[in-house]
Amino acid sequence: MAAPDIINAIKNGMGGTLGFVAVVVGLGAILGQMLESSGGIQRIASVLINKFGEQKIQWSLGATGFLVAIPVFFDVAFIILAPLIYGLASKSKKSLLYYAIPLLAGLAVTHTFIPPTPGPIAVAELINAELGWVILFGAIAGLPAMILGGPIFGRFIAKRIKVEVPETHQTFDNESGSQRGLSFTQVMLVITLPLVLIMLSTLSPFIFEQNSTVFTVLTFLGHPFVALILATILAMFLTGKECAMSSRQLLNIANKGLEPAGVIILITGAGGAFKQMLIDSGVGAMLGQIMASSSLPILLLGFLIAAITRIAQGSATVAMITAAGLIAPLLAIQPQSPAMLGLLVIAISSGASILSHVNDSGFWLVSRYLGMNERDTLKSWTVLTTIIALVGLSTCLCISMLIE
Q: What percent of the chain has pLDDT over 90?
A: 40
Q: CB under 8 Å, gap of 24 or more: what pairs does 126-129 form?
A: 126/17, 126/271, 126/272, 126/275, 126/321, 126/324, 126/325, 126/328, 127/324, 127/327, 127/328, 127/331, 127/341, 127/344, 127/345, 128/331, 128/341, 129/338, 129/341, 129/342, 129/344, 129/345
Give the whole-angstrom CA distance, residue 70 versus residue 73.
8
Q: What percent of the chain has pLDDT over 70?
A: 94
Query: What mean pLDDT is reported for the chain?
Result: 86
- Asked whether the beta carbons of 320 and 120 are under 8 A apart, the reply is yes
Nearest to 141 by CA among 401, 404, 394: 394
Q: What is the pTM of this model?
A: 0.76
Q: In sequence order, which ranges of 222-315 are alpha helices (DSSP H)?
A: 224-242, 247-258, 261-281, 283-292, 298-313
Span between the terminal Cα atoms of the chain, in Å: 39
- Of 36-40, 175-179, 279-283, 378-382, the poorest mean pLDDT is in 175-179
- Using one digit for the tens of pLDDT, what is the confidence trace for 180-230? 678 889 988 988 888 788 878 878 888 888 889 999 999 999 888 898 899
CB count, 10 Å around CB of 207?
11
Q: How confident is the model at residue 173 (pLDDT cuts 50, 70, 90)?
A: very low
- Using one digit for the tens of pLDDT, what is the confidence trace for 3-14? 999 999 999 988
Q: What type of residue sits at position 211?
A: N
Could you give the angle at the alpha carbon of 153 between the alpha carbons of 150 and 154, nearest 5°? 65
pLDDT of res. 73: 73
